[in-house]
Structure 1
Amino acid sequence: MPLTSTTPGRLWIVATPLGNPGDFSPRAREIVQRADAVLCEDTRRTGLLFSQCGLHARRLVSFHDRNEQEKQEEALRRLREGQELALVSDAGTPLVADPGYRLVRACRAEGIPVSPVPGPSAPVAALSAAGLPPLPYTFLGFLPRDDGGRRQTLAAFARTPGSLVFFERKDRLTASLAVAAELLGPREAAICRELTKTHEEFILFRLENHAALAPDLLGEVTVILGPPESPARASEAEARACLRRLAAEGGASVRPKALARQAQERLTGWSVKELYDLLTHTAEQDA
């Protein structure tokens, strides 16, 4: 689509403080004040942050995961007209587990300049101060809400070398750590909460001992799981092959539950229930 102005505007991707207003960089402050509009997840939260920092934005525009598609065209129109827009998240660096990727992609496709204004980032801040191996690391964003989605996500990264970093809601933290311990095996771990805030805390523990943690941790949480220390979870293909092999050795008389128990003794990271479900699901597909 042709630009309506010979001089398109610019989209600024502006990092904001995680909690301490003092981390708002001078460059970020200057840009959000001069921008024609600031796109933000929560206008009230961003407005409060700007007020605490003594900043005045010309206009705050709601831009979150539920209205991103609707608001994107308006943002592009403004940019085509030569306006400057600043995109911020509720805290930290935008697009890192926050909306905005599609807008940036659309700008790139139209030749509209996009520039980052670096600053705070929760995954990097957590890795820098937790004392767990920081490189390599894989950032998983927020884990899925449902148990099946969590299992699928964590299992896919069970063999990944290096640390895993993810965000989690306080009410789902216990369940996520339990699944991680089951699928990923023994390893170091850290819960990094309230980063840069008054009650900042780093809780270092062994993943296999997660049940000993206090269940009522408050605040926003970044979790780091250290590198694997033992053989990682066997792949689904390996699990299926093991089940087929045991079935061939034992014959048709071996009950599915017994096969699942035998396979569980030979495979890393699989529970008897998961193997039983895999066995019965495979049998249904073959029927």
Structure 2
Amino acid sequence: MEHGMAVIKGTEFDVFPLNLGGNTFGWTSDREETFAVLDAFVAAGGNFVDTADSYSSWVPGNEGGESERALGAWIKERGADKLIIATKSGALEAVAGRSREATFRAVEGSLERLGVESIDIFYYHYDDETVSIEEQIIIAQDLIAQGKIKHLALSNYTPERLAEFFEKSAGTSAQPVALQPHYNLVARKDYEEKVQPLVEKHDVAVFPYFALAAGLLTGKYTSKGDIAGKARVGQLERYATDEAFAVVTELQAVADELGAAPTTVALAWLIAHGVTAPIASVSKVEQLADLMAVKDLGLSAEQIARLDKVSEPFA
């Protein structure tokens, strides 16, 4: 079955059910590759890209903003109407925190790098518990009133602070339209127990990061030996357990039955569990097809049940 476009309630946006991650732009993808990936993404029906002001400040010699600049260069040549852009602030040192000054400065920086007049969806990337939820709501309302951002979304907030945010922002322009949690087949418990109930209660869109568990769920690693020496070894290692490799084995089995890639099945499992569009990134165009295929891949109830069962240790 086709999943078709997904609606972000409270916005005018319908999105392709794969949210392209921009963390590779200006990092593992140079300008040419970034343009090629974005062109192919749009050509395949994609329309929603996720970035952040801090991408890719973790690379020696980078200062952050590289991803937004790369995306801005593409927008300048291809037109801002081709994509819905989400960006985030809170992790870039110079404008960290949720104070009014830091948040406004972060937004101004993002607008300048992206070369757009307004950010479609702006995430508070991280909470700042020194700033009350009431104040955070007022800051977002002011950003929206000034046309700098269209909608607010949240990432990396505790369930308690999330609940408070939804309660106090209800009916205001700053009511969050999306959450960006950590959720995948080998990271289920925190999301399913504490965040999913809020998602269902407030009928909010969900765009999980690490949807492919730093590459583990692509199926190309089937043992700890496969991971040694890989570029993302730090992120991968935390997922690399016997239980996780059992999930990979089942993923491969379901993929074989469907004539699909494990990557596509892992993303389809998230959509089967109520996710609006998982976030995944690529550094090369040829990796994109497996992500975009999620739109046309439906898992049977039996296949979903098998994946649920094998991933139970993570629930």
Shorter-chain TM-score: what band?
0.3 to 0.5
**Structure number having the greater helix percentage:** 2
Normalising by structure 2, what TM-score?
0.31
Normalising by structure 1, what TM-score?
0.33
Highest Rg: 1 or 2?
A: 1
Structure number with greater CO (CA < 8 Å, separation at least 6) is 2
